[in-house]
Amino acid sequence: MTSIDQNGTDMNTPLLKPLGLPLRGPALIEASAGTGKTYTLAMLYLRLILNHGGEAAFGEPLLPHNILVVTFTKAATRELRDRIRQRLVEAAAYLRTQAQPSLAATIKVDELLQELCDTYADEAQQAGAAKRLEMAAEAMDEASISTIHAWCYRVLSEFALHYGGAFEQNLLESETELLKGTSEDFWRLCVLGMSHASLAYMMQRFVGPQTLLGEVRKLLSHGGSLPAASQNLDDHIGQLEGEKKALISKVKADLEASVDELEAYFAEANEAGLYKAAGLNSANKAKALAKIRDFVHSDDSKLEVNKGLQRLAMQDLSIWKDLEQVQVDLLAAKHLAAALDLAEQLPSPDAQILTDACHWFNQHLATKKQQLGLLSNDDLLLRLQQALHGSGGVQLAQAIRQRFPMALVDEFQDTDPVQYDIFNRVYGIRDGCPDAGFIMIGDPKQAIYAFRGGDIYTYLQAREHTSGHHYTLKHNFRSDANLIAAVNGLFSYGDSHALGAFRFRQDSHNPLPFVAVEAGKKTRRQLILDGQAQSSQVAWLAEVDKPGKAIVDKSYVEQMSAATANEVARLLNLSTDNKAVLQEGDQQQPLAPKHMAILVANQKEASAVRKALAQRRIASVYLSDASSVYTTPIAQDVLLLLRAVAHPDDDRLLNMVLPTLLLGLDLADMDALQRDELAWEKQVQRFHGYHQLWQSKGVLALIYQVIFDSHAASRIMSVVGGERLLTDLLHMAELLQQAAMQLDGELSLVRYFETLLDNPDTQDVSQQQRLESDSNLVQVVTIHKSKGLEYPVVFLPFLNKTRLAKSTDMPLVYHDIKHQKQVALVADKAILAAVEHERQTEEIRKLYVALTRASCCQYLGLGEVKNHDKSGLGCLLMLPETVGQLSDYMTTLAQDLPIQPVPEEHTYLPQNTHERQWQGARQAPAIKVKNWYTASYSALNFSSQKDSVSVVGVVEDGVENAPDTAQDAILLEEQHQFVDMDGGAAALEEQAANIHNLPKGALYGTMLHEMLEDCATLGFAEVIANQPARQKIVQAHLLPLELDAWVSAVDEWLLQFLQMPWQLGELSSAPMQLQSLNAQQLLVEMEFLLSTKQVDVRAMDNLVCQHTWQQQTRPQADPKQLNGMLKGYIDLLIEHQGQYFVVDWKSNFLGEDASAYTHEALRDALLHKRYDMQYILYVLALHRLLKSRLPNYDYDQHVGGAVYVFLRGIGNPDTQGLLMDKPAKALIEGLDKLFQGVGGEIV
């Protein structure tokens, strides 16, 4: 039972204390509008990261990827991620300052965050907490914050083994094309083969598959709530058509038999003066009787109703003078009444047709998507739900809980039954979430997305399941105290209704009570006009067109649009004179257009109010949830353009496109063209040119050229809503260009575009209209789009306009007394009443959303339109149905909603517009662009080398073609190395295959590099121990090069090399074996990028030559400047005995056997090829890496040096083919400074 005190406060639900909320188990937080829902979520997130709260803590600190946060839009996920990251950083910074009193005053935080941080008393606790928060903030890009659909996609992919699914799910953005194909399949397979009578009915009722699809599409998500399909739809239609014909025949037969009796009865009554002759004169009576006789002998199934027929049928008794003398039960009159009601009595197969089609569509659509490996967003939910209900569901739920032990679900009022079932299966909400935490936060008063599947009854079910774990937020931090009180007053008044404000009260139980909120801020937020505070909430009342008659909707919309636009103009004019300011506490700012929002229900209302604004020179922007760009007026102009350009010789198409807004010819221009053959021919030639442009450069270039040639941009911008039209035009041009890449020819694109215009897909993200401007404009927003947003001043001009539920609103969705969803395709009075009741309850919730957007003040537009008492406001305030009573009735609510006169006419007059002087554009300063590019060692040229030309290539337009991958770098280096040698796999003749007679050349050197890379990746020890794996590696690299004869020799060489103890000489006293190194000691093909700032290559080379190899002579580097990045790949980085070594493989051929690989020969090869420069750069990269990663890094201690391995010389007993060096620390540090652009002196 819900208990509300006299102030509207819920006495049963405890107020939430964010720092004391138990984080284990379930919790439901009800957060009214403006009460800090996102703030609360972020605070709970901090507690989970820190394991804060003592007994109320989760039990262990969590990382961001273990905390699931779910919300319902991508925009909301971005906002949540940013807000949480900001909160983590803020808390960490505050904790850091607590140990430094001098800095503590520099960071101000709110009381709640300060209270959380104060629980960490000593310096060590503060540092530890700050560190965890900082690490969490850094990991927020990987945080599990997503929409429900994105989370389901992730779960289905990550836990595929638990339910036997695919690891990758291919998402389907739009089902439009699949649905179109499915509809055509159904028509071909199920309709065209029907009997003649059934087919005739289908053709008459639906015409074709496209019309059928339009009706079935609305049912697809409700398939589970529909009755079963018929056994045979053809027989069912035929049977009902037979019953229909029989009923029509009977009614006509009865009517034919009684029409003469009916005529005689009324003739006698007329002679006796029993009825008023003016109500049914002789002429009208004769016409009515003739109509009856014509109907009886026609093939029509419906007798059109009119007053004369109703009076003859005794359905209208207003003409009779004395009802006691009337034979009301006259049989002839009953027969006529049956004919008039015949249309409602005829059996219709429509419901069964749509039911069968829905089931067929769903089944075949699922099969198609399975065959194509596609999933829609709804499929993601259903697939996960099925997996959780399957045989492995318990294990899957446990795995998900282990991965996400804590879940926070935002906007929970928008959850649907499938989503809640998934959460309940995973977290055991009904059982109290024994080994996890599950917190739901939302506001059922803002559940306004039933059209998207949001189900408030699911929320109420969750509320019931979490009984005893409910919390509420009662302070509104958005709005001014007076505005909060005014809104509270309206809903408190509505709560006096027997069913409560939101119409959910049953006896003494109300699962959705209105709970009044209090102002969370002490400072006032007001609109100050000419020194006086504007009333927080006022209303205008539209004038009736005729006394006692309801205002027609059109008049109401026009009046309130004008009133709104006039008030906006008045406020802006006051602001121009510095007489309209927004004030919060002692802070003021001038009122600007962007501070005002006009909330509407749909695009039609938006167009009306934007037109009124434009007439008063006020620019506005329209924001809605989803409007397809293909529904805009300019789309038809584009279609006419494409048709005309595709057929440039078709005069009819040319005449249709030239007068459009896009081409801009007026009536006089068109008349002149018809009289001037040469002028017409010029237009034809112009369109021939457009045709050629389309063929050569595409449709995007065509549309842009037409805009330029016809000055369309300025013309479009000059009309009302021009900015919107121009934005849509450019958007469509982009979409058509993308589509053209998948289509064959211009005519295919025209047909494609025609289809899109006939069937726009508002759910396709690519089609949704873009925001035309983000500048300082008045914002016209749909109520649905405004949810979650805040505006200082809000206008609600059309609150009394509504539309009642109709029997044609298929499907009719409602909930029974047990809150179970029901779907009906045939309406009776009870069903229609249930649907209307749910419509009214959602209208009240929409009203709540609308009334809680303003922070300072708001204006409401009222009017006695038809059914105004059934609008959200009418239902809430129980407005009188009778026209003429609204004004007096509103006096009882004057305290919360006073009526003010409708604003007078105003036009916005921006300040000094007549004095505006255009100034010339500023001259851009001369900027000298420095040559910035990515280079590599292989791009350095050395003048005395025969192969001095860079292997990588020259710099082109400031960009050097540096190698993209390690394989590219190896190949380039090997080409450089063997440029002066003979390549090719020479015949062995009588020699035995060995490493020395392995063919020379870049191809074979690259092969050795890649083979050793594969060995390192597998693990050197594993390569030795696993002979099949080793031989597989050898064969994989040798056989494609037709080196079959060397397989055995290379295998033996590889085995010897991997087992060989490397004698490192002065670098290390401890020998090193590749086979002894584990994966943690190896980094294969390490890529590096070194920033270079105006590095003089000649100066760098001089440093290297002076400080290595006793200044021995070597080729000199050509002059060059490095500015940008220096890119490279180190073959192997090894950690040995706490030191790090750069290892590079060299396949240079120095002689016929190992004896040629002496120390002198290795040194000469190294200097000739300038490998000294290469390894110096590698060691510099290693130095920078270790400096950034190792605590207490010391060059002398941690850098081992460079080891260059000449692979053909490992058999030399003196050198083992190894040439080693450790550059001096001073050299590396000097080069480091040189690369930073701060000099390169070596001390």
Contact 1209, 1155 (CB under 8 A): no
CA distance 1164 to 1204: 13
The region, left, alpha or beta by phi > 0 then psi within -120 to 50, assigned to residue 159 is alpha
In sequence order, what are the residues at sequence separation of 6 or more whose Cβ sits closer than 8 angstroms to the Cβ of residue 415? Answer: 409, 423, 442, 454, 455, 458, 459, 462
Locate the DSSP E strands across 777-897. 778-782, 791-796, 812-815, 821-824, 854-862
Q: Mark whether 1144 is an active-site residue.
A: yes
- CA distances in angstroms from 483 to 476, 573, 737, 897, 1065, listed in the order given: 11, 24, 50, 10, 84
Contact 97, 104 (CB under 8 A): yes
Q: Which of 764, 1144, 1172, 1221 is catalytic?
A: 1144
Contact 657, 644 (CB under 8 A): yes
CA distance 1095 to 1120: 8
Structure-token pair, residue 119: 């629980």
CA distance 877 to 629: 38
Starting from the edge strand earliest in sequence, which strands make up the sheet with 532-533, in order? 532-533, 525-529, 580-584, 587-590
Q: What is the DSSP letter of 215?
A: H
Give 1171-1175's long-range contacts (Cβ < 8 A, gap of 24+).
1171/1144, 1171/1146, 1171/1204, 1172/1104, 1172/1108, 1172/1109, 1172/1114, 1172/1221, 1173/937, 1173/940, 1173/1101, 1173/1104, 1173/1117, 1174/937, 1174/1144, 1175/1142, 1175/1144, 1175/1202, 1175/1204, 1175/1221, 1175/1223
Contact 789, 852 (CB under 8 A): no
Q: What share of the chain is helix, strand, coil (3-state, %, to 5)?
A: 50, 15, 35
CA distance 769 to 732: 10
> Quick one: 342 exposed, middle or buried, by C-beta within 10 A (0-12, 13-18, 19+)?
buried
Sign for the CA dihedral angle at 1046, 1048, 1051, 1053 comes to: negative
CA distance 1056 to 995: 12
Q: Are strands 1139-1146 and 1199-1206 parallel, antiparallel or unpaired?
A: parallel
Contact 452, 410 (CB under 8 A): no
3-state class (DSSP) for residue 538: strand
CA atoms within 13 A on the CB side of 39: 18
Contact 448, 846 (CB under 8 A): yes
Structure-token pair, residue 592: 């600007």
Q: What is the DSSP letter of 780?
A: E
Distance of CA 1096 to the CA centre of its chain: 49
CA distance 634 to 724: 10
Determine how many CB atoms are found less than 10 A away from the CB of residue 250: 12
Q: Are strands 955-956 and 959-960 parallel, antiparallel or unpaired?
A: antiparallel
Token pair 């609308």 is found at 850
CA distance 790 to 34: 9
* Rg (the chain; Cα; Å): 41
Question: Which residue in 394, 406, 458 sits closest to 27, CA to CA?
Answer: 406
Locate the DSSP E strands across 555-636. 580-584, 587-590, 596-600, 620-623
Which sequence positions are flagged as catalytic?
1144
